[in-house]
Structure 1
Amino acid sequence: MDSLAGINRQRVILVTYVIAALDITCLFVQFSITPYLAKRLGFDTLWFGYLQTTVGVIQLLGGPIYGRFGDIFGARAALSVSCMASVVYYVLLAMTDSATMLFIHKIPVVVMHVIPGAQMVVADLTEPDRRADALAKLGLCFGIGMISGSTLGGILSTRYGETFTASIAAAASLVNVLLVLNFIPKHTKQQSTQEQKETKSYSVFTRLMRYPGVAKTFTVKIASGLPSGIFQVMFSIIAINFFQLQPEQNGYLMAYFGVMQMIMQGAVIGRMTSRYPESSLLLLSVAVASVVGLAQALMANVFQFCFIVIPMMFSLSMFNVITDSMLTKSVPATDTGTMMGLCASVQSLMRTVGPTIGGFLYENYGVPSFGVIQCAVNMVVFAFLFMDRRKEAIKDS
């Protein structure tokens, strides 16, 4: 099982998908608890923003280190650490009865990077020309987890309370630990562990940014992803205050998100990545994100938002799959885990600055401001990518 040549790659990938889906289910169960628990403990919008920022800072620090840890010590060790941290995280959440404890229970997120770990396994075990499709299927697992976690979390927290719901998430995370230990090989890379350790040079992160196209794609990932990331960070507040949703209603809305993401990941993105160049699909996702921002600026109720979710999920899913695929193809196979860790740190960066920026925008300019900024930023990114593509075409001709 420890030898790459002696494993059934398809079985490992399938189990990895199961682990990812179960992890996301637990995550969205938690999303059904935390905003309402925070409100019950006396948190206002500002303090909830501080809580989200704390999570972002902790994950921002842990993401790149976790990715490098996976490259050096292997997939099984990396995923085991993440899943065990998830167990501790949900146990602490079940014990939370004060504002201080709500902050303390976030500490394990420093190594809670199951999705980047799963992405590392999938990237290692698939050929470059099939990687985008394989990562899209991993996104399909995200949709499944979003549906099951949101629905389950809303129902359980409404009927049985936050403690019981968090305990269920802890038990499911323990199942993930067992799946990792029994089905994930120690190493999923072609190189031996010693060869991987030799790649720990002077500054691995600086070195990765020097590969052709990495810095540009990474910059686009941050710039285009930041506005939508701010909206996602603030969505729990928007759902409670702007849409006036109860926990169970919010769970159904998140489940609807999951259905849309499953459709996009399962029926749309995989087919498009096999037919069109990644650079064209990246342009398309940014253009759609700009239109989505304009629609968000004009929306007035949750019914209108449900229509906006369709193109929003398309652009988000396509953008994340394409940028992750492009970045992992741009670096050596020994560094895919580190690159996935850096990609995860982008999400953590959004959680770090998102609550502060989002809280300011929400309090001073309202929900439409999120859409206006998303539209404007993505228009600029689209222009940059379009001009860069034209320059490359002229150079090749």
Structure 2
Amino acid sequence: MAREASLRVVFGIAVLDLIGFGILIPQLGVYGVRFGASPFAVGLLVAVYSLMQLVAAPIMGRLSDRFGRRPVLLISQVGSLVGYVLFAFAHTLPLLFLSRVIDGVSGGNVSTAQAVVADITKPHERARGMGIIGAAFGLGFVLGPALGGVLGAWGGNLAIGLFAAGLSALNLINTWFFLPETRRADSPSATTRSMRGAAAVLTLPVVGRCVVLVLLYTVAFAQMEGTFSVYLLTRFLSSGPVPLEGGWLVHAVHPDAAVLKEASLRSGALFAVVGVLSALVSLHAPMERQGAVLGAYQASGSLGRIIGPALGGLLFTRLGPTAPYGTGAVLVALGGLLALSLVTQVRMSGAGAEQSS
């Protein structure tokens, strides 16, 4: 069945993309410290990708509504490849920043993949379809950091960057040869501007609360994401010389590996929640605006990944290593309260029944 085949291709594209992303994220703090970055600068290094995404994701979404999903996916994959190659050959902090800027500007993979899922699934299948993207997140953030550790121990940032670039190259091949265009040429968004602005998304029923909720959860998670490697260096490896290659960092804290396992499990739970939210956003967005609305939704996550690492780095520096995690717990609790109100709003709105036609 063509629909199932396309879903499998989208899953493969998302898995490869997110493994590459997952390989790099834990290593940014390691190589940032190696090249002289402070904890706050490490937070900014993690955040700069999302700063670029905040601007680029809604634009990419609108472009995918107008010109199609395949061109946007191909452009974003080329940008990721270039960014990873630059990371591979970086030897200074400015080059690390530049690699993340390039990847962030061009990166529209996830929101565009979600738009593909929305194109090819019916409303009652949407949660299952978006769950595929959520599963890709889970695999990426389980396999990626482990691969990054092994590659870092073996070949440093050169091995990490080139391996991730290879995954982007595979994605280019998959998209070019196996993913047909899913956006209908006669769609209204193919000839007209799809949204007047990302702020208009907040006025859509249900969507606005989903956007705020993903912002809260992402800020909470990104505080840990942006400071965790520095936290390990500070708390567990402060008694002696630290071999900063990613794999050695993980092996050095092996007695406390349960901490890493617990963090991975909680991260997986977060991405499962975010996947459910993306299904709700898609169900309550006009079909001709799927790319733009999902792009704005991803931009909210990008904003969280800007605020989170920077805030985490600042709290880490000013208040101590545990401060980002206490703040994150408070944000998750606030998100839980908002989620309860969201359940009520979804029931009142009919859970996207208006989109079934």
Establish whether TM, by shorter chain, passes 0.5. yes
Task: State the alpha-carbon separation in 2 of the partners of residues 99 and 323 from structure 1.
Answer: 36
Aligned 1:221-370 pairs, distance under 5 A: 221-244=214-237, 247-248=246-247, 303-304=258-259, 306-307=261-262, 309-310=264-265, 312-313=266-267, 315-370=269-324
Q: Does 1:167 align with 2:121?
A: no
Contact 2:56 2:106 in 1 (8 A): yes
Give the 3 Å change call, closer, same or farther, for CA 62–184 of structure 1 in structure 2. same
Q: Does 1:177 align with 2:172?
A: yes
**What does residue 11 of structure 1 align with?**
5
Return the letter of the residue paired with 2:53.
Answer: Q
1:206 Cα shift?
A: 4.0
Count how many residue pairs are aligned between Structure 1 and Structure 2: 341
Structure 2: gaps spanning 5 or more residues: 351-357
* CA deviation vs aligned residue, 1:86-118 (integer Å, no higher than 9, x gap): 111111112212222222222222121212222
SS in 2 for 1:377: helix
Contact 1:15 1:183 in 2 (8 A): yes
* CA deviation vs aligned residue, 1:320-362 (integer Å, no higher than 9, x gap): 0221111111111121111221122122212222232111211
Give the 3 Å change call, closer, same or farther, for CA 233–46 of structure 1 in structure 2. closer
- The runs of 4+ residues in structure 1 deviating greater than 6 Å are 390-396
Aligned 1:60-71 pairs, distance under 5 A: 60-71=54-65
Q: Does 1:145 align with 2:144?
A: no
Contact 1:229 1:350 in 2 (8 A): yes
Contact 2:42 2:226 in 1 (8 A): no
Contact 1:150 1:251 in 2 (8 A): no
**What does residue 96 of structure 1 align with?**
90
* CA deviation vs aligned residue, 1:230-259 (integer Å, no higher than 9, x gap): 222222322333344962266689xxxxxx
**What does residue 208 of structure 2 align with?**
215
**What does residue 262 of structure 1 align with?**
none
Task: State the alpha-carbon separation in 1 of the partners of residues 221 and 326 from structure 2.
Answer: 11
Task: State the alpha-carbon separation in 1 of the partners of residues 12 and 235 from structure 2.
Answer: 35
* CA deviation vs aligned residue, 1:167-215 (integer Å, no higher than 9, x gap): 22212211211111111112x13x4256223441671434433322222
Return the letter of the residue paired with 1:136.
Answer: G
Task: State the alpha-carbon separation in 1 of the partners of residues 30 and 162 from structure 2.
Answer: 17
- Indicate the percent of aligned positions where both proteins have the same amino acid: 23
Return the letter of the residue paired with 1:203.
Answer: R
2:106 aligned residue (103, 108, 111): 111
1:371 aligned residue (308, 325, 342): 325
Task: State the alpha-carbon separation in 2 of the partners of residues 181 and 9 from structure 1.
Answer: 17
Task: State the alpha-carbon separation in 1 of the partners of residues 187 and 300 from structure 2.
Answer: 29
SS in 2 for 1:105: helix
Contact 2:23 2:164 in 1 (8 A): yes
What is the CA RMSD across the aligned residues, in angstroms? 3.0
Give the 3 Å change call, closer, same or farther, for CA 119–374 of structure 1 in structure 2. same
Greater mean alpha carbon deviation, residues 87-96 or residues 45-54: 45-54
Structure 1: gaps spanning 5 or more residues: 1-6, 254-300
Return the letter of the residue paired with 1:329.
Answer: L
Contact 2:81 2:166 in 1 (8 A): yes
**What does residue 195 of structure 1 align with?**
188
Return the letter of the residue paired with 1:379.
Answer: A
Return the letter of the residue paired with 1:336.
Answer: Q
SS in 2 for 1:185: coil
Give the 3 Å change call, closer, same or farther, for CA 76–231 of structure 1 in structure 2. same
Contact 1:32 1:251 in 2 (8 A): no
Give the 3 Å change call, closer, same or farther, for CA 324–249 of structure 1 in structure 2. farther
Give the 3 Å change call, closer, same or farther, for CA 371–217 of structure 1 in structure 2. same
Contact 1:17 1:141 in 2 (8 A): yes
Contact 1:229 1:347 in 2 (8 A): no
